[in-house]
């Protein structure tokens, strides 16, 4: 049963490399819930799909949708929102999809000496914020998004992921 302003979050594991991380779904559920509770956006009666893939899968998505032929850690695909008013009994409103690549995420966590679940939480929060309209296309937007990510992660007991970076994203 979902709580009042929390979206339904479905986690789909499509790459075998995630099998060694059995808590990943719970980590993502907790991160998305914390993000939803921390924003003013109404995400009740909404749905988010998170696909846990590998570098090959995310490379294909990155190439097809962004024209960048290389893997990345996380991609977000916001859903188009209908203009019509929602009626009781309507299907959940789709916020969009998030894809997270295991190998890239694992390598980053190891290189930055961060616990796997902390980095996974960060990427889930980051992806969710993109779905509701946040971005980091310019310095001001990046600072706003990073500050919100840091606040959400602190609520989860996770240290500032940007602490070691001198203002870069």
Binding residues for Zn(2+): 126, 130, 136
Strands 46-53 and 93-101, bridge-based pairing:
parallel
Binding-site residues: 126, 130, 136
Nearest to 54 by CA among 45, 64, 62, 44: 62
Report long-range pairs for 112-115 (Cβ below 8 Å, ≥24 apart). Answer: 112/164, 114/161
Q: For residue 18, how many C-alpha atoms fall within 13 Å in the half-sphere facing its CB? A: 24
What is the spatial distance between Cα 128 and Cα 145, in angstroms, rounded to a whole number?
11
């Amino acid at each position: 049963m979902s709580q009042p302003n929390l979206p339904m979050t479905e986690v789909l594991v499509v790459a075998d490399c995630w099998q060694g991380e059995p808590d990943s779904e719970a980590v993502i559920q907790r991160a998305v819930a914390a993000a939803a509770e921390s924003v003013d956006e109404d995400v009740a009666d909404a749905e988010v799909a998170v696909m846990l893939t590998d570098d090959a899968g995310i490379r294909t998505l990155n190439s097809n949708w962004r024209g960048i032929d290389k893997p990345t850690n996380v991609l977000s695909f916001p859903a188009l929102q209908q203009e019509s008013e929602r009626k009781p009994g309507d299907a959940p409103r789709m916020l969009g999809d998030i894809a997270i690549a295991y190998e890239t995420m694992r390598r980053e966590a190891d290189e930055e000496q961060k616990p796997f679940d902390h980095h996974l939480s960060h990427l889930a929060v980051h992806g969710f914020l993109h779905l509701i309209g946040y971005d980091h296309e310019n310095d001001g937007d990046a600072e706003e998004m990073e500050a919100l990510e840091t606040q959400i992660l602190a609520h989860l007991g996770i240290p500032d992921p940007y602490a070691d970076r001198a203002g870069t994203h």
